[in-house]
Structure 1
Amino acid sequence: MKLSQKLTKEQTDPFFLNWNEKAQRISELHKRRDAQVRIEMQAGILLYKKLLEHCSDSTEKPLMPLNGEERLAFVVSSPGNYAAFRQLDELFSEMKKIIAGKRIQLKRMEE
């Protein structure tokens, strides 16, 4: 599948909708200081990695936020930490912007 087909709203929105649901749950778990937060964060990390994989194309450098690898490593190393949750939330937010920008770029190239 071409990158332009992978980056359509129909293809990428499910990742972000799923994250929004998880983020609300994780936020509530943090407020209650519930140990279940680690399990939910692991699921969020896996979702983010799937998003990165989905948006990759062997012909170009992978789509990823600035310092994305280091930031993801921090999240993976401390999934129960509130700062890690905020970082993962920011990574999703930045990916959404990057994908939108890439969509525009690909559309201009096709014209």
Structure 2
Amino acid sequence: MKSSQKLTKEQLAPYFLEWLRITTELANLHEQRSKQTKVTIQEGLELYQRLLSHCRDALQDDGFEPLNGSERLTFIKTSSGTYAAYRQLDELFTELKKILARKRIELKRLND
């Protein structure tokens, strides 16, 4: 399967739909100041890492990630119960979505 086929909206949509569910839950948990936030942010982290792994495999690029992605992930892991960690994870998903849209356009142009 070509990398452009692994980066289609259909291939990536389940990850982003699941993140939408998790982010809604996290927003509510933070509003309630719940202790459950750490568990839910861990769920989001695992989802992000699966998505990133999928993209790296598709692009055959082990270094593919948003700007300062590794440092940001470390921050999220070490302060997983904080609102700042939640916002940082949300930004990583947003940035990754934009980068992938650009990559799809680049791959489409190369294949045409």
Q: Does TM, scored on the shorter chain, surpass 0.5? A: yes
Q: How many pairs are equivalent?
A: 111
1:92 aligns with 2:99: no
CA contact 1:38–1:79 (8 Å) conserved in 2: yes
In the TM superposition, 1:1-111 aligns within 5 A as 1-57=1-57, 59-111=60-112
In 2: Cα distance, 1:59 partner to 1:44 partner: 24
Amino acid at match of 1:83: A
In 2: Cα distance, 1:3 partner to 1:50 partner: 16
CA contact 1:63–1:98 (8 Å) conserved in 2: no
* 5+ long unaligned stretches in structure 2: none
Q: Which range moved further: 50-59 or 12-21? A: 50-59
* 5+ long unaligned stretches in structure 1: none
> 1:59–1:19: structure 2 CA closer, same or farther, 3 Å change rule?
closer
In 2: Cα distance, 1:11 partner to 1:64 partner: 18
Amino acid at match of 1:76: K
Post-superposition offset of 1:2? 2.5
Amino acid at match of 2:85: A
Post-superposition offset of 1:61? 4.9
Taking only aligned residues, the RMSD between alpha carbons, in angstroms, comes to 1.2
In 1: Cα distance, 2:78 partner to 2:35 partner: 16
Q: Which range moved further: 76-85 or 55-64? A: 55-64
1:24-82 CA-to-partner distances (Å, cap 9, x unmatched) read 10010001110011110000000000000000137435431111110111011111010
TM-score under structure 2 length normalisation: 0.94
Q: Secondary structure at the match of 1:80?
A: coil
**Identity over aligned residues, as a percent?**
52
Where does structure 1 differ by over 4 angstroms across 4 or more consecutive aligned residues?
none
Q: Secondary structure at the match of 1:55?
A: helix
